[in-house]
Each structure stands twice: as structure tokens, then as C-alpha cells.
């Protein structure tokens, strides 16, 4: 992306060069306020009394020099930065580099591809399991910044656990991530590919294997199959009433308790993930229907908002809903009004 800055916004910098004309002067256009690796700076240079031949950027011991091309009364260079950091910049005159200022270059923002789990941090940043890039991303909707927190092969779910840690369903493995230290610990190797994970009382967790089997894994690794033979299970949600299961291919929303399993709602359009709603209801994303719905305790269902390709859903700190779309978008939904606001990407 080229960023052009006119000389009306230039900063005048005075240089003294022995042997050159009196009062040599160089004006360099201001760098963009937000510059990232992979973006470019269209530099414009005006020189009087000196003859710069190159535009120079330096980061520690790394130096790059770009030809200055004369266009009318100005010299121009298109500058790119291969690494994040605070780069010093200047011009090359008579075989010497004269550094004039500095510019902060930020890391590139990762492209969100297929979100399969969203957790909001206390500071407002979002931790997202991106199945498409095999990574857990940290995204800041307020600034547009983002970075890879850790790598995890094909993550399918991301859930808060104890002590601020996170559970990740990654391939056949349950991982535990400390987002503060980025330390990842292997917790469990499942019998088949995982579709979901959620914390269980007593330090264990629930998992979904092969889209058909829901298992409770105790803290010591002992496993108990809660239900098997289901059709296309995606998200699971522990609630005070029991474990909610989204049986996506069958269109059912199920509840597993000590007494057995019962249907909360049926005929849904591929229910994928659920989040708690006030009064004991549930917010559910319906993938094929392209909507976020509210399922009342009575089983009555009504649409809350229309969202394309909806997948994971979670609550933010204000009780609004964060919904990930499998085309790389994250939206915020006000459940009271149904208003949908795009959170990521910002543009």
C-alpha cells in the first residue's frame, strides 16, 4: 500500500556539510503515522545546496538504501521495511549516511481466516482460535493491531478455563494455554479429531470427538462417554442445568444431565455454538440459516440478528454477543436491539 505525503506536510531539517553551498537544506516528507511491515512509504525529498543520492533506513546493524529519483524539483523514493521496530532514516550524501529522524514500523496484522473460538480479555483484546492459519491470535479491535499469540494445529475451539488459562481443541489434542506467558501445555490426547472443548467441574473438561461423541475427561485423565452416535456435533456449553450440545447436522439443541439427554429445540438450521442468555435461555448460531437466534427455556425460538456464515459465539464484558463468521469476520450483536456491528476486520 502506498502512502503519499505532500511537501505541505514536510518537516524541514537543517544539515551542515563542509564544502557544500551555504545554508544547505533538506526537507523530507513526514512518515505515515501508522506504518507496518509490508507497507510502503512514498518519500519526497527536497534538497538545496546538497545532492542526496540515496534514501537510507537503518535498524540496529541492518541498513537499506533506496535510489532517489528526480521528478521535477523533488526527489522521491518508495521505501519498504522488512522488519518491525523503530527505524532511523536519512539520506546519503558524498558517500556518507546522514540520519535525520525515525519512524516506528509495526508488525503486520495477521489475516483472520476461519474463527472457531473467541474469548475477550479484561483489557478488551480478543483471543481467537483461527483454524485457517493454525494459530491463536490476539486482536485489538480498538487499534486494529493483531499478532499471533501461539501456533496450534487446526484449532476448533477455545474456551476459558481456571486461573485465566484457556483450553484449545487442536487436532486430537487438548491444549492448555496461559495467554500471559504464552506457555502451552498438553492436557489430553483424544481418540479422534476434536470438534469442541469446555471446562468441567473439578478441573476436568468435556470434549467432542469425531462430531458424534461427547466425553467427560476427569482431572486424572479418566474418561466417561456421556453420549455417542450423534449427528454432527459442534459446540458444547456447560450450564447450571447441564451440558448443552449443538447437534448441528440433525438441527437439534440437546441437554445432557445425570438423568439422561433431552431435546431443548429441534428444526434449527445447523446449530453450531451456544452462549447463555438471561432467564435460562440460550443464544445459538444457526449456520445454514445465517442467523443468531434465542432459544427460550420453553423451546420457543426467535431470530435475534442476521449474520452470514455464523460460527462461534461468546459474551463480552457488557453482555453483548461476539459472533465469528467463517469468512474471517467478527461481529458484535446487541441482543436487546439485534444491531450488528463489525468488530474485525476494522475495514
Q: Given this model, what pLDDT does residue 203 score?
A: 84
Residue holding cell 456449553?
Answer: 237
Q: Given this model, what pLDDT does residue 33 score?
A: 82
CA atoms 299, 305, 310, 316: torsion sign: negative
What pLDDT digit, counting tens, does each position of 58-78 carry?
999 999 999 999 988 889 999
Q: Is the pLDDT of residue 15 over 80?
A: no
Share of the chain above pLDDT 70, in %: 93
pLDDT, mean of residues 143-147: 88
Give the start-end residues of each E strand in 228-296.
233-239, 242-247, 252-257, 260-265, 271-276, 282-286, 291-295
Q: Given this model, what pLDDT does residue 42 score?
A: 95
Q: Is the pLDDT of residue 1 over 50?
A: no
Domain ranges (residues) in the chain: 7-106, 115-344
Q: Given this model, what pLDDT does residue 2 score?
A: 41
- CATH number belonging to the domain at 7-106, selected among 3.40.50.150, 2.60.40.10, 3.20.20.70, 3.40.50.720: 2.60.40.10
Q: Given this model, what pLDDT does residue 157 score?
A: 97
| Fold observed for domain 115-344 | Neuraminidase (2.120.10)
Provide the mean pLDDT of the chain: 91
> What is the grid cell recorded at 328?
474471517
pLDDT, mean of residues 304-312: 97
Q: Work out the pLDDT band at 23, boundaries 50, 70, 90.
A: low
Q: pTM (2 decimals)?
A: 0.78
| 116 CB-near residues (< 8 Å, 6+ apart) | 129, 130, 131, 155, 156, 157, 158, 311, 312, 324
Q: Is the pLDDT of residue 208 over 60?
A: yes
Q: How many residues does the chain have?
A: 347
What pLDDT digit, counting tens, does each position of 44-54 carry?
999 888 899 99
Q: Given this model, what pLDDT does residue 12 score?
A: 41
Q: Given this model, what pLDDT does residue 310 score?
A: 97
Give the start-end residues of each E strand in 287-327.
291-295, 301-306, 310-315, 321-325
Give strand pairing partners of 205. 199, 217
Q: Given this model, what pLDDT does residue 108 score?
A: 87
Q: Is the pLDDT of residue 259 over 60?
A: yes
What pLDDT digit, counting tens, does each position of 158-184 carry?
999 988 999 999 999 999 999 999 999
Amino acid at each position: 500500500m502506498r502512502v503519499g505525503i505532500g511537501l505541505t506536510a514536510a518537516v524541514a531539517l537543517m544539515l551542515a556539510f563542509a564544502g557544500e553551498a551555504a545554508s544547505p537544506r533538506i526537507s523530507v516528507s513526514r512518515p505515515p503515522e501508522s506504518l507496518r511491515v509490508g507497507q510502503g512509504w512514498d518519500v519526497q525529498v527536497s534538497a538545496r545546496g546538497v545532492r542526496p543520492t540515496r534514501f537510507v533506513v537503518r535498524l540496529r546493524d541492518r541498513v537499506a538504501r533506496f535510489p532517489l529519483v528526480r521528478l521535477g524539483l523533488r526527489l522521491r523514493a518508495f521505501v519498504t521495511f522488512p522488519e518491525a521496530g523503530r527505524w532511523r532514516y536519512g539520506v546519503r550524501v558524498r558517500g556518507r549516511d546522514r540520519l535525520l529522524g525515525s519512524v516506528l514500523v509495526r508488525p503486520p496484522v495477521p489475516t483472520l481466516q476461519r474463527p472457531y473460538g473467541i474469548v475477550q480479555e479484561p483489557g478488551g483484546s480478543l483471543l481467537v482460535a483461527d483454524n485457517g492459519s493454525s494459530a491463536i491470535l490476539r486482536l485489538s479491535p480498538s487499534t486494529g493491531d493483531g499478532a499471533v499469540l501461539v501456533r496450534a494445529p487446526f484449532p476448533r475451539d477455545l474456551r476459558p478455563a481456571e486461573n485465566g488459562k484457556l483450553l484449545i481443541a487442536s487436532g486430537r489434542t487438548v491444549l492448555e494455554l496461559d495467554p500471559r506467558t504464552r506457555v502451552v501445555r498438553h492436557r489430553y490426547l483424544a481418540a479422534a479429531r476434536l470438534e469442541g472443548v469446555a471446562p468441567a467441574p473439578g478441573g476436568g473438561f468435556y470434549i467432542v470427538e469425531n462430531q458424534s461423541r461427547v466425553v467427560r475427561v476427569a482431572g486424572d485423565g479418566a474418561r466417561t462417554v456421556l453420549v455417542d452416535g450423534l449427528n454432527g456435533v459442534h459446540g458444547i456449553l456447560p450450564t447450571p442445568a447441564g451440558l448443552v450440545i449443538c447437534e448441528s447436522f440433525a438441527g437439534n439443541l440437546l441437554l445432557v444431565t445425570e438423568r439422561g439427554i433431552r431435546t431443548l429445540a429441534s428444526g434449527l438450521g445447523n446449530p453450531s455454538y451456544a452462549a447463555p442468555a438471561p432467564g435460562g435461555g440460550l443464544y445459538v448460531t444457526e449456520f445454514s440459516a445465517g442467523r443468531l437466534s434465542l432459544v427460550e427455556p420453553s423451546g420457543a425460538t426467535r431470530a435475534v440478528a442476521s449474520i452470514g456464515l455464523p460460527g462461534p459465539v461468546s459474551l463480552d464484558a457488557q453482555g453483548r454477543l461476539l459472533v465469528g463468521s467463517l469468512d474471517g469476520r467478527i461481529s458484535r450483536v446487541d441482543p436487546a436491539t439485534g444491531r450488528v456491528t463489525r468488530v474485525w476486520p476494522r475495514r
